[in-house]
Structure 1
C-alpha cells in the first residue's frame, strides 16, 4: 500500500478536486474490514486500540486492548463462529448494549460471515422478521448480568425455534463466576468469552472476505414502523471509513470518544472502523452510552482524563452537554462531530459557548453506508451540513410527470440523491439458493440513491438540508419546513428540545404545532412559547397553532427525534376536540403503521355514526370506526 496515495491533503473544501484527480482505485484501500484491522495490528501492535468503560461510575477503570490484542481476540471469536457453522455468506445476529465483547464480536462476525446488528428495543415480531430475512441462526446476545430484558428476548427467540445457537456476552470487566445458563432444546447456548478462549488467536479458519462480499446488514426505521434491512459490502464500509479518516483534522494522537450503540452505522463506521486507519485510540462509554444520565455529570472529567479530541453524537446530546458546567480541562476537545438530525442553531451556539469547541457537522444515512458530507471548522458555511465527501456524487432533483428525475440548478431545493462507492447494494428481502436477495425497493435508480431528504447544493458541493420530504408540513399547499419552528423555540433559554409536526386541519389540510421539553425549574407556559415562536418564525403561515410541553420528546435508540409519535398525539388531540360535542364517542386510538398514522374511533352502539363520519371526513387522515359491543 502506498501511504502517500492513501493520505491526500484534505484540510479545506478546496482540496476536494485534487483528491478526486487520483482514482479511488489507486489509493490502495484495504480489501475488507478485517484487512483494515490486520493492517493496524501490524503497524501499531502495542498501541491501545480500545479502552472500554464499564459504566459512568467506573469511568477511571477501563478495560484496554492493544491493536495486537484486539486482532487476536477477533481471531478467537471468528474461529468460534466458524466452529458453530458460520461461513462467508451466513449472517450472525448481534443484540446487546455496547461492551468490550460486542466490539470484538462485531468485527469477528464480519470476518467469519456477515454481521447483522439488532436493536434490543425492537418488538419480538420485528426481530423475528429480521432474523428470517437475514437467515441468521446464530445470535450473539447480552446475558443476564449485562441486559436482563435483552437476555429475556434472546431466550424467547431461541424457544420460538428461530435460532441454532446463542452466544452470551458479559459486562465489560465482569468478575466472578457467570450465572448458569438455561437449556433450550435444540439450541447451543454458552458464554462467548469462555468458549472463544480456547480458539486459535494467531490465524483464522475459513475464507477471507473480499471487497464486494457483504460485511453487514443494518436495520433502518423506527421502533414501531417495520424496519428494512440495508446491506453493506466490505468496500462500502472501508471506503466510507477512509473518507472520514483522510481528513487532515485527525492524526494518530486524536483520541476518539464513542457512545452510540453498535447497531447504528455511526458507531461502526465513525468510531470503530475509521480510527483503525491511523491507529487512534477509542474510548467507549458504558452499555447505556449517551443514554446514561450519570455520564453527563462526569463527561468533562472523562474528556480531561483521556484527552478526548473527537466524539460523535446527535444534537440532543450536545443540547444536554450545553447545560453541564465545565469542571475540568477540556482543551483537548477539538472535533465534536454531530449528525443524524439537523443541528438547531441554538444548540450549536450554546454548546460552543459552553465548551469552546466548534461542532463539526455531518450528514449521512444507512443506505449510503454512513457519512456523505462533513463541515470544516475553519471554513464555516452557515446552515450547511458540510461538503460532500470525496468520490461521492450528489444531485438535487425533482420527479417529472413521467416519473423520471429532473436535475435542479445549484442552490435550488429538491430531493437529494447520492451515487458512488458508499451507496448500498440494496435491502435484504430474503434468501434463495444463491444467497441473500437484494432489492433497492425504489430507492436506487441507475446507481443513484434517493435519500428522501430535501436539500440544496451550492457550486462547492456544500449541502443545505431543509428537512425530510415526509416531515414537511403542507398548509393549504404552502410547504413549511419544521426546522424554522424548532429553531425559534430552541432559541428560548428554557427550552431543551423541540419538534414541529403537522396537525390535521379541516380547512388547510395541516397546520403546524410544536412539542417541547423544558429545563429543570422552567417557568415558561405553553402559551408563552406559542407567542415566542410567532414573534420569531419568519413565515407567518409557519407560526405554530399550539405548543405542548412534554417531560421528554420521543426519540429512537440513538437519540434521534421520532416524529411519528408527535404526529399521532397531535392527531388525537385535534380529533378529541372536534368530536367533543358528539355523544357516544368512547375513545380515539392512534396507531403508527409504517409511515402512516391510522385513527380508530371507538363509539357506543347508540352513537350518531353519521355525525361522527361527517366530522372525520373533513380531515385528510386514515380512519376507521369501531362500534363497541
Structure 2
C-alpha cells in the first residue's frame, strides 16, 4: 500500500498576481493539476516534509513580546495533529463523528481543528456564546467529544464544559487541555468520561493514522457556526476539498511566502483566523505568532502591537477595522517596523479615513479581503502591490465564478444581472462554497434555484474587475422604496476628525418605512455635538433622502466577538428611540407628567414593548397603541403593569 499521505511540494505562489489577466492565466491549468492535495491533513504533512524543524507557531503567554512564549516546529505540529487524530480514533470516533472545541486561541487549537478533521469532523465553538447557545450548537451537530480548556480563564471554560457535559445527552467524552505551567501535582482528579489530553496523547504514535483512513476531498472536515449571538444555530458543512482550495487560492493571490512571519490575531473558532490566515500560513511554511489566548481583545497586545512586530520581524499583519482603529492610537515611536510588507483587513468594510490613517502611520496601504463562513473563509482578495480605494476587496479567486444581480424592492436577489458598474448582490459558484447547512431549510434559502450562493453582500465591479464592496443587503436602509447604502453615510460622518466609528441604520417610520440615522463613537478628548455632525454629513451626502435624520452619540459601539459592529443592536436602539419619541409626544398631548411617562424597550429577540401603569388613561393607551401600530415593527406590545 502506498505511503499516506503522499508527499507534494508545499503551497507557494506561482506568479505575482497584478490583475484579472493573471487570475485568468492561473485558470489555464486545471485545478486538480495545481492542487493535488486532497485534505487539510495532507497540507500539514507536506509542510512537515518541506520545513521540518522550522518554527511554525509561536504562542505568546502575555502581551509583552519579551515575555514567555511556546513554539512548535512543523515537525511537532504534524506529530501532535497525528497523535490527536489517533486519540480520537482510539476513543471510537469515526469520520462522521463530531468533536467540539471549547478553547481559547492556544496551540492546542490546532489539534482540535486539524487532528479532529483527520479523524472525523471538527466543530469550533465561540467560547463567549451563552451556555444555551452552546448547548444548541452541540445538539445540532450531534457532537460526542468536547476538547475543552482546563481552567476558567476569560470565559469560565472548565465549569462551562462540565455543565455542557450534563446538558448535552450525546456528549459522552470530554478531553481536558491543561493550561500553561500546570504541574502534575496541580492537575485535578477527573470524573469518568473526562480525560487529560497529554495522557491520551502519550499512548499514541505520531507518524501515521492508526485508522488507516484515506481522507477524500468530499469528506466533511468541519462544522462552522454562522451568524450573531441570537437565533437558531446554523452550522455550515465544510469539505476538505473546499478548505484546501481556499489555502491554494489564498497563497497564490495573496503571495504567502515561507520567509513570512504573520501576526495572527483572529479567533481560531472563526474562519478568518483558521482558513483565511491560519491554514494557508501552515501550508506555505509561514511562521505564525499568536498573541495570547485572547488575541487582539487583550489590551496589552494592542499596547505592544508595534513592539511585537519589531521583536518577531513580522512581515504580514493587520486586523479587523476596529482593531486597526485601536492600534492607530498607539504611537510607533522609535519601534522598528521595517519588516512589514503586507497589511490585510477583512470582516467589515474599512472606513476611508482609517485606511488613510494606517497608511500615514505605517507607510503601507491596507489590502482588503472578503470572505464568509459559507465560502470557507475567502472569496476575493487584494494582492500585494494593488492599490484601491477603501472598500475595494480585490479580485475573485482563480477558478471561481462571481455574478452580481439586481435587488428587488425588499433588497432580495433577483435573476437579473446588474448593469456594469452598478451595485448588485454578489453571488458565487466556487470549489470552496460550503456543502450547505445541517438544516436543509436553511440551505434552501442560501442558494438560488440554479445553485448560486447568495452572499448578501452588495458591491460593484470597477474597470479592473475588482469588487468594490458597499455593505450587506440586510443593512440597506429602504426609505419609501429608495435603497440607501449605509456606507455613504458612514463615510461622510466618519470623515469628521472627532469620529472614531460611525454606523448608519434604518429607524422605523410610519410613513417612509425607514429613515436613516447614524450612531457615532467619538475619539477620546475630541467633542462633537449631534447637530454639528448632522450638518457635517448633510454637506457630504449628495442625495437628500440619504442624509441622516438623527445622530446618536454613544460611548462605545456594540461589537460581535470577532470585532464587527453589531448592527442588529443599533437597529433595536434606533427603534426604541423612535418609540420613545412617540410616547413622549403623546404624553405631552395627554398631560402625562415627566415622572409617570412610560419607557420604551426594544431588542432584536423580543421586539418593541412599552409598559404602562395604573396612572395612564384608557384614551392615552388607545392613542399609543394606534401610533405604534403604524410603525413597521413586529412584534410590539403595550403592557400594563400588574
* 1:432 corresponding residue in structure 2: none
Distance 2:511 2:25 in 1: 54
- For the 8 Å contact 2:256–2:280, the answer to whether it is kept is no
Judged with a 3 Å threshold, the aligned counterparts in structure 2 of structure 1 residues 148 and 616 are, in CA distance, closer, same or farther, namely: closer
Shift of 1:5: 10
Shift of 1:603: 2.1
* 1:465 corresponding residue in structure 2: 469
Q: Deviations over 1:325-377 (max 9, x none)?
A: 11311011111111111111011000111111211111111111111111134
Tell me how large the CA RMSD over aligned residues is.
Answer: 2.3
* 1:442 corresponding residue in structure 2: 445
* 2:432 corresponding residue in structure 1: 422
**Which of 214, 226, 233 is the aligned partner of 2:232?**
226
Distance 1:588 1:178 in 2: 52
After TM superposition, the structure 1 stretch with the greater mean CA deviation from structure 2, 373-382 or 577-586, is 577-586
1:33-48 equivalences in 2 (<5 Å): 33-48=40-55
Shift of 1:95: 1.4
Secondary structure of 1:159's match? helix
Shift of 1:394: 0.4
Query: How many pairs were matched up?
Result: 616
Is 1:286–2:264 an aligned residue pair? no
- For the 8 Å contact 1:518–1:549, the answer to whether it is kept is yes
Q: Deviations over 1:221-270 (max 9, x none)?
A: 11123331111000110101111111373321111111111110011112
Is 1:563–2:567 an aligned residue pair? yes
After TM superposition, the structure 1 stretch with the greater mean CA deviation from structure 2, 584-593 or 525-534, is 584-593
**Which of 268, 271, 279 is the aligned partner of 2:274?**
268
After TM superposition, the structure 1 stretch with the greater mean CA deviation from structure 2, 221-230 or 345-354, is 221-230
- For the 8 Å contact 1:99–1:172, the answer to whether it is kept is no
**Which of 176, 183, 193 is the aligned partner of 1:168?**
176
Secondary structure of 2:94's match? coil
Is 1:94–2:106 an aligned residue pair? no
Q: Deviations over 1:92-117 (max 9, x none)?
A: 10012101112232211111111101
After TM superposition, the structure 1 stretch with the greater mean CA deviation from structure 2, 156-165 or 329-338, is 156-165
Shift of 1:129: 1.6
- For the 8 Å contact 1:604–1:628, the answer to whether it is kept is yes
- For the 8 Å contact 1:113–1:215, the answer to whether it is kept is yes
Distance 1:577 1:262 in 2: 43
Judged with a 3 Å threshold, the aligned counterparts in structure 2 of structure 1 residues 352 and 404 are, in CA distance, closer, same or farther, namely: closer
Shift of 1:510: 1.5
Distance 2:167 2:66 in 1: 39
Secondary structure of 1:56's match? coil
- For the 8 Å contact 2:262–2:314, the answer to whether it is kept is yes
Distance 1:543 1:196 in 2: 61
* 2:394 corresponding residue in structure 1: 386
- For the 8 Å contact 1:2–1:28, the answer to whether it is kept is no
Distance 1:538 1:192 in 2: 60
Tell me which protein shows more strand as a share of its residues: 1
- TM-score, with structure 1 as normaliser: 0.93
* 1:199 corresponding residue in structure 2: 204
1:18-33 equivalences in 2 (<5 Å): 18-33=25-40
Distance 1:522 1:403 in 2: 42
Judged with a 3 Å threshold, the aligned counterparts in structure 2 of structure 1 residues 174 and 358 are, in CA distance, closer, same or farther, namely: farther
* 2:582 corresponding residue in structure 1: 578
Is 1:499–2:503 an aligned residue pair? yes
- TM-score, with structure 2 as normaliser: 0.91
Judged with a 3 Å threshold, the aligned counterparts in structure 2 of structure 1 residues 459 and 26 are, in CA distance, closer, same or farther, namely: farther
Shift of 1:399: 6.2
Q: Deviations over 1:419-447 (max 9, x none)?
A: 01011110012xxxxxxx79623212333
Secondary structure of 1:589's match? strand
* 1:589 corresponding residue in structure 2: 601
Q: Deviations over 1:500-540 (max 9, x none)?
A: 11111233221111112222222223332222222222323
Q: Deviations over 1:68-100 (max 9, x none)?
A: 011111122111112222111111100121011
Distance 1:145 1:462 in 2: 45
After TM superposition, the structure 1 stretch with the greater mean CA deviation from structure 2, 336-345 or 545-554, is 545-554
Q: Deviations over 1:431-465 (max 9, x none)?
A: xxxxxx79623212333100011111246431112
Distance 2:355 2:124 in 1: 31
- For the 8 Å contact 1:271–1:282, the answer to whether it is kept is no
Is 1:190–2:195 an aligned residue pair? yes
Judged with a 3 Å threshold, the aligned counterparts in structure 2 of structure 1 residues 403 and 500 are, in CA distance, closer, same or farther, namely: closer
* 2:253 corresponding residue in structure 1: 247
- For the 8 Å contact 1:425–1:438, the answer to whether it is kept is no
Is 1:376–2:420 an aligned residue pair? no
Shift of 1:404: 6.1
Distance 2:198 2:480 in 1: 60
Unaligned runs of 5+ in 1: 430-436
